Amino acid sequence: MENSRRDFLKTTGGIAAASAFVGAPLVQTSTVAAAEHAGERTQHELPPLPYDYDALEPYIDAQTMELHHTMHHQAYVNGLNNAEEALAAARAEDDFSLVQHWSRQAAFHGGGHWLHSMFWEVMAAPDNGGGGEPTGALAEKIEEDFGSFEHFRNHFSAAAGAVEGGGWALLHVRFDDQRLLVLQAENQHKLSPWNSLPILGVDVWEHAYYLNYQNRRGEYVENWWNVVNWARVAENFEAVIGAVT
Ligand code: MN3
């Protein structure tokens, strides 16, 4: 990778790393750069789940998965498309009176689309790779940065339990020093630093668990560990490391 490209990834947020592991919608975003496409919008689409709605039972029930994917995630996709359409119209008309509103909408729905696209991919059925512990380079890095897998897991679960309102617990890779960080996100986009990217996350909005767990968020998070797809998380880890080193 040439230096200018590498420096860009280190300093501006790793767009290529982002598109490397969350599927087609974000890959499209990075390709609309040629002059003939100037001003064109990307039409964002709901990605299919990589498993059936009932695949994560008994830990996450089929009805929750179906509503979460077809209603909630779809709403973020629609909201992002709407916000980008409104911003394009604002540019065309040179009328930026609502730019604050649509910028907020783009960040909220864009964050929701990206995080949910990642969320589906970092889970797997318990009989098809879900659960257990990471192996290889990711396991070594978790030990190095957190002391042990148990310390990491306890930190992550505590972060998930303590998110105020709707949000996420996230495992990030920081570009500058490749360190792993446990962070929270409120809503879909708040509390995030700029120089890192999530490789694992758990949705702790009530819509993610309330049908089955009601107010027992801690029980949901403890059960969620049984469906973490560590092979996929390791791929995400390698994709970010590869993009920034
Ligand atoms: Mn959600």
Q: Each residue of 165-185: pLDDT tens digit? A: 999 999 999 999 999 999 999
pLDDT confidence of residue 11: 45
Residue among 238, 234, 240, 235 nearest 135 (CA): 234
pTM across the whole model? 0.88
22 C-alpha to ligand 1 centroid (Å): 16
Domain boundaries of the chain, sorted by first residue: 2-121, 136-244
Kindly give the pairing relationship between strand 167-174 and strand 196-203: antiparallel
Contact 29, 42 (CB under 8 A): yes
232 C-alpha to ligand 1 centroid (Å): 19
35 C-alpha to ligand 1 centroid (Å): 36
154 C-alpha to ligand 1 centroid (Å): 22
Is 2-121 assigned to CATH 1.20.1250.20? no
CA–CA separation, 136 and 43 (whole Å)? 37
pLDDT of 19 over the 80 cut: no
Residue that is written with structure tokens 């975003």 in the block: 29
138 C-alpha to ligand 1 centroid (Å): 26
67 C-alpha to ligand 1 centroid (Å): 10
The CATH fold assigned to 136-244 is minor pseudopilin epsh fold (3.55.40)
Q: Each residue of 187-221: pLDDT tens digit? A: 999 998 999 999 999 999 999 999 999 999 999 99
Give 198's contacts (C-beta < 8 A, 6+ positions apart): 115, 118, 170, 171, 172, 183
Once rounded to an integer, what is the mean pLDDT over residues 138-157? 98
Give the amino acid at 168.
W
207 C-alpha to ligand 1 centroid (Å): 6
Q: Each residue of 33-57: pLDDT tens digit? A: 555 667 788 999 999 999 999 999 9
Give the amino acid at 99.
V
Residues, the chain: 245
**3-class secondary structure, 79:** helix
Q: DSSP string covering 104-173, please?
A: HHHHHHHHHHHHHHHHHHTB--GGGT-SS---HHHHHHHHHHHSSHHHHHHHHHHHHHT--SSEEEEEEE
110 C-alpha to ligand 1 centroid (Å): 13
69 C-alpha to ligand 1 centroid (Å): 8
CA 220, 223, 225, 231 torsion: positive or negative? Answer: negative
Quick one: which H or E segment has residue 4? helix 3-12
203 C-alpha to ligand 1 centroid (Å): 6
Once rounded to an integer, what is the mean pLDDT over residues 110-139? 98
pLDDT confidence of residue 40: 82
- CA 204 remoteness from chain centre: 13
66 C-alpha to ligand 1 centroid (Å): 11
Give the amino acid at 153.
R
228 C-alpha to ligand 1 centroid (Å): 16
49 C-alpha to ligand 1 centroid (Å): 14
209 C-alpha to ligand 1 centroid (Å): 9
CA–CA separation, 179 and 143 (whole Å)? 11
CA–CA separation, 101 and 29 (whole Å)? 22
Which two structure tokens, joined as six digits, stand for 29? 């975003």
10 C-alpha to ligand 1 centroid (Å): 29
Residue among 200, 124, 210, 122 nearest 166 (CA): 210
